[in-house]
Amino acid sequence: MVNHPGLPFTYFNEACGVLRAIEPLNSFLASLCKFTINNPNEGEKRSGILLSPGSKKPETSMDQRDSIILTPKNVQALRTLFNVAHRLHNVLGPSWVLVLETLAALDRTIHSPHASTQEVSASVSRLSRDTSGQYSDFHILSSLNSQLFESSALMNVAAVKSLLSALHQLSSQHISGNSQLSGQQIGSIAFSVERMTSILINNLHRVESIWDQIAAHHLELANCSNPQLRNMALDSLDHSICSVVGSEKFQGISSAPHPSKEYQLVEESETRSFEYAVLSPLVILYSSNKNIDVQMGALKILLHVLERHGEKLSYSWPSILHMLRAVADASEKDVISLGFQSVRVIMNEGLATIPVQCLDECILVTGAYGAQKTDINISLTAAGLLWTATDFIVKGLSGRSVQKANHLNEEVQLGVSTEEGDIPTSEEGVKRNPLQQLVDYNKLFFSVFSVLQKLGADDRPEVRNSAVRTLFQTLCTHGQKLSLSMWEDCLWIYVFPMLEHVSHLASTSSKDEWHGKELGTRAGKAVHMLIHHSRNTAQKQWDETIVLLLGGIARLLRSFFPLLQQLSKFSSGWAILLAFLKNSILNGSKEVALAAINCLQTFVSSNCPKGNLESSFVQSVLDIYELVLQTSPNYKSDSADKVKQEVLRGLGDLYVQAQSLFNDDMYLRLMAVMHLMIKSSMNSSDYDSELGSIPAVQRGILEIISMLRPTTMLSSMWSPLLLELLCYLNGEESPLHRNSKEIREQNSDALANGTKHASVERGHINGSGTKGDTVVGCGWGILFIEKLVPIMVNLFLEAPPNERCSASPQVIQGVGRCMNTRRDNPRGTLWRVSAECFNRVVTDEVRQENAECGSDMNSYRLSRARFWKEVADVYETFLVGSCGRVLSSDVPSADSATADESLEMTVLAVFGDSVLKLQKEAPVEVLQRLVNCLDRCASRTGSLPIQTVGLLPLHCSRFSLGCLQMMFSLCSCISKTSSHPAVSETSKVSISILTKRCEVILGQFLADENDLGDRPLPSVRIEETVCVLQELARLILDIETANALNIPLYLKDALRENQSHGRAHLLSLLPTFSELVVSREARVRELVQVLLRLISSELGLQRLT
């Protein structure tokens, strides 16, 4: 009884459908729908009266909390309705609306928590109901509901369109201007949207025919004022577009081959139109809808499409890029960020699949995001994406070069010639990408550079700095792959204009200090975030960009200078660059100046060792350094000093790296610049000097001096260099500055006649003599001189022997003047450093051989005579004139006193062992002066009266005894290290002075002993006398030294005949010994007895018994 009533409906509806009887069909369908669902209204909840699903008002007023009961009759009616829809889907046409209204009600019933499928007594507890049948019926009905729309794939296109139109009608009848919709209305709309999506998924094989209907309805919903409907439409549109683009049908549309060209063109046109249609809703939504949520929804859909299926797109790229370009101009940060995510996907993953005609637009769109001012992080990331683009472009350039080379090889083998640039591609490659051969990678490369150039002038320092880094990083990384013509364009269209423009913006920018963001208040005053002083003005931040530009140019010069020299406009470009660097050093801030100097230093240090530089380039760099230092000697500030110091360092580095390219004139210019800097640092009142450190400029001078060793080609420059340095020790005006023209003429003449060294030496000897009491330094500063002396001595010792011969007198004189500062400043360091350097110089010079000093013996003898005179002057002044050490009221530390005494003894050892004993050519008068100097030092103790000798400091008495022992060593034949006649001359000069000194010391001892009577003698006097007697006993003379003694001739003859001359000196002192026999000092008496026995033995006398 229950199941049979549905059969007539089915048969009758089928007949009406076959006969195309629309009105009877609608009537019977409406009658069938009445039996499907019980929907009680408010007044008839228990009456059981069924309302038609097509009745709008009652449906709108239904309460979702009312119980909905599906009887078996309702279930059977629904099954009948599904059967009718399945069998008559191609003929239902407009009648689909009735079916869909019922199905929408069924969908709400299935999802309602108050629905059931059988009559239940009100007295029965709800928990005790048997729900198995209910859920089984609901599951079957839900499955039938889904299968109906899944079976749309079997319908003809007209039926599917009718079904979509009915769904659209069902949804549209609930949309109104009022944004407040009931849950039932939203449910109906959701039902329509979901079923449209289901139909689309099941009809992807013929999606072109139905897409417009689906897209139109989604656009309609997205433009609604109700946010729930908008979100529903956007989610469904996202799913729909991604499904279509990801379908095999879409891929086939884009790439399937066609048998004929005409058919292919037609299909391509259809494909283009369909691809536009699929993605056009996104463009429409973003451009026409001003709601931010809708715009962001459209951008999210686009992002999903690009992430999942971007490689399948072909013809819609122009509209996509136009849309993304418009997003960059938006004012909302979230919108721009979402749009930029799509740009990142394109630039990172999609460049290889984008049509070539759109690549340039991709770069411009990325540049637009870099230029937007809403989010600085996006701008910085955009610059990085441009770097990614250059990687892709350069790969294309490299691939094209390889392809061209392979093609040329094939031409050579086949004997075929083609015009340059005519590079055929393989048939397979053309099929895969028909536009591949049309890619203009040069244009793309310059598009990137154009964008970077614009970003390089951005008013945000972070953005422009990032653009500058990216531009030069691109050139440095891929420069080897660029042609010369591309290099020309890069430099003249982008690099140099950017340099000029940024420099102009920097010079016209504000110097007003900025205040950081206000953080709050304290004591009624605003508290601002601190900004570092190097970035607190606009101009300083522009200077930072110039520093990056200069650093990039330095990298180009380091890596590509040989290549750049091949450019046709290289000379003019080089002149522009040098002018800019010069202006940056002279007029720029400290940071800009240092960057410009570093650029020159990098250029020199990277190209000179490789032999890439000619003399003209070195001259141009030297010109800049010279001009800068000549222009800035009067600038007195920390930043100016730092710049000068770096210029000086660059000057020294220039000479070290380009020594082979320097000539005499360039070297003299180098020295003139050095002199100018030293002169500008005179009488410095720098705070560094007050703290005991060397000012920055002087430190730079010292660094460069140590680098200025003349090469073999510049050996003639040793004398000017050493004499220049000596002028700073002597406090004189530089001979180079005073008479540079004369020096150049002398150098020129010497090159012609071979007498250069002698002429220069004579000129300086005649014109640069100084007095020993001139104040050292003359304004340079003691600290500077302390550092200069070792540097000068090192250079002197490295000079060729002939140059050293000519300069040695002045070096000895200059170092000696520094040693003499001990008299006025015994606690100073200068005299100590100078004494050590003096020992090195005099030791090395004494050992020089004549043959090493050239062939001009007249000049050599003149120089050596002056040398020995200066040596004697130094020792007399240092050892005798200052009396060893000036007594001071300040008590020195034990370590300091020990160090000073050790240094004095070292000077004494060098004096005796290295000078007097090893000399070979010292004039006799000089030897006499030197030995007399030693004798005067030995007389310090003996010359003092008995009343004060006991007050003599111990170190003075020790030094006096050391000098006395050194005199004995000079006379002894045992201690002689050489048999040279000059050594014997030293002994002959020394012995007569020594014997006189011994007689004076012994006589003074006798006189003091007599004066004191029974009182004891000072220990100093006793130690001195004992030392003399002991050394006399140990001393053994050779024959020549013995002949120099002042003893009777007959004794000399007798000693010579008996060959007993070794103790001859004791005979000359015998009268004094005779008087000491009665001394009260036991040690003295014992030593005298020993000496008398030695005399007896020397005379051959023996005891008679």
Average of per-residue pLDDT across 550-579: 94
What is the residue-averaged pLDDT of the chain? Answer: 78
Q: What's the pLDDT band for 516 if we cut at 50, 70, 90?
A: low
Q: Is the pLDDT of residue 467 over 90?
A: yes
Rounded CA separation 178/183 (Å): 14
Lowest mean pLDDT among 85-89, 171-175, 619-623, 781-785: 85-89
Average of per-residue pLDDT across 684-705: 71
Lowest mean pLDDT among 424-428, 511-515, 530-534: 424-428
For residue 452, the model assigns a pLDDT of 95
* C-alpha dihedral (282, 287, 293, 294), degrees to nearest 10: -40
Per-range mean pLDDT, top range of 27-41, 174-188, 494-508, 638-652: 494-508
Rounded CA separation 1078/1069 (Å): 16
> Is residue 244 a contact partner of residue 278, using CB atoms and an 8 Å limit?
yes
Q: Who has greater pLDDT, 714 or 12?
A: 714
Average of per-residue pLDDT across 431-454: 76
Q: Is the pLDDT of residue 130 over 50?
A: no
Average of per-residue pLDDT across 342-363: 92
For residue 497, the model assigns a pLDDT of 95
For residue 1053, the model assigns a pLDDT of 76
Q: What's the pLDDT band for 633 if we cut at 50, 70, 90?
A: low
Helix (H) / strand (E) containing 743? helix 735-753
> Is residue 903 a contact partner of residue 836, using CB atoms and an 8 Å limit?
yes
Average of per-residue pLDDT across 938-948: 81
Q: What's the pLDDT band for 762 if we cut at 50, 70, 90?
A: very low
Q: Is the pLDDT of residue 527 over 70?
A: no
* C-alpha dihedral (826, 828, 829, 832), degrees to nearest 10: -10
Helix (H) / strand (E) containing 69? strand 68-69
Nearest to 387 by CA among 473, 491, 308, 264: 473
For residue 1017, the model assigns a pLDDT of 84
> Is residue 230 a contact partner of residue 224, using CB atoms and an 8 Å limit?
yes
Lowest mean pLDDT among 82-96, 450-464, 723-737: 82-96
Q: Is the pLDDT of residue 471 over 80?
A: yes
Q: Which residue has the tokens 């809703």?
A: 281
For residue 418, the model assigns a pLDDT of 41
Q: Is the pLDDT of residue 627 over 60?
A: yes
Which residues have C-beta within 8 Å of that of residue 507, sequence separation ≥ 6?
none
> Is residue 573 a contact partner of residue 557, using CB atoms and an 8 Å limit?
no
Rounded CA separation 706/189 (Å): 90
For residue 263, the model assigns a pLDDT of 47
Q: How far is CA 398 from CA 479, 480, 571, in A?
A: 12, 10, 29
For residue 623, the model assigns a pLDDT of 92
Nearest to 182 by CA among 79, 58, 292: 58
pLDDT, tens digit (0-9, with 9 covering 90-100), for 355-385: 888 999 999 999 999 999 999 999 999 999 9
Task: Dump the DSSP string for 311-372.
Answer: GG--SSHHHHHHHHHHHTT-S-HHHHHHHHHHHHHIIIIITTTS-HHHHHHHHHHHHHHHH-
Average of per-residue pLDDT across 139-162: 73
Percent of the chain with pLDDT over 90: 33
Q: Is the pLDDT of residue 852 over 60?
A: no
Q: Who has greater pLDDT, 202 or 299?
A: 299
Nearest to 809 by CA among 857, 756, 766, 849: 766
Q: Is the pLDDT of residue 1073 over 70?
A: yes
Q: What's the pLDDT band for 1028 if we cut at 50, 70, 90?
A: very high
Percent of the chain with pLDDT over 70: 70
Q: What's the pLDDT band for 552 if we cut at 50, 70, 90?
A: very high
Average of per-residue pLDDT across 719-724: 89
For residue 199, the model assigns a pLDDT of 86
Q: What's the pLDDT band for 7 if we cut at 50, 70, 90?
A: low
Task: Dump the DSSP string for 133-191.
Answer: HHHHHHHHHHHHHHHHHHGGGGS-HHHHHHHHHHHHHHHHTT--S-S---HHHHHHHHH
Q: Is the pLDDT of residue 607 over 80?
A: yes
Q: Is the pLDDT of residue 401 over 70?
A: no
Q: What's the pLDDT band for 298 if we cut at 50, 70, 90?
A: very high
Q: What's the pLDDT band for 934 if we cut at 50, 70, 90?
A: very high
Q: What's the pLDDT band for 417 if we cut at 50, 70, 90?
A: very low
Q: What is the pTM of this model?
A: 0.74
DSSP state of 733: P
Rounded CA separation 357/577 (Å): 37
For residue 763, the model assigns a pLDDT of 36
Q: Is the pLDDT of residue 257 over 50?
A: no
Rounded CA separation 223/819 (Å): 98
Q: Who has greater pLDDT, 323 or 177?
A: 323
For residue 730, the model assigns a pLDDT of 73
For residue 74, the model assigns a pLDDT of 66
Which residues have C-beta within 8 Å of that of residue 13, sequence separation ≥ 6?
25, 28, 29, 32, 84, 88
Rounded CA separation 327/420 (Å): 42
For residue 784, the model assigns a pLDDT of 87
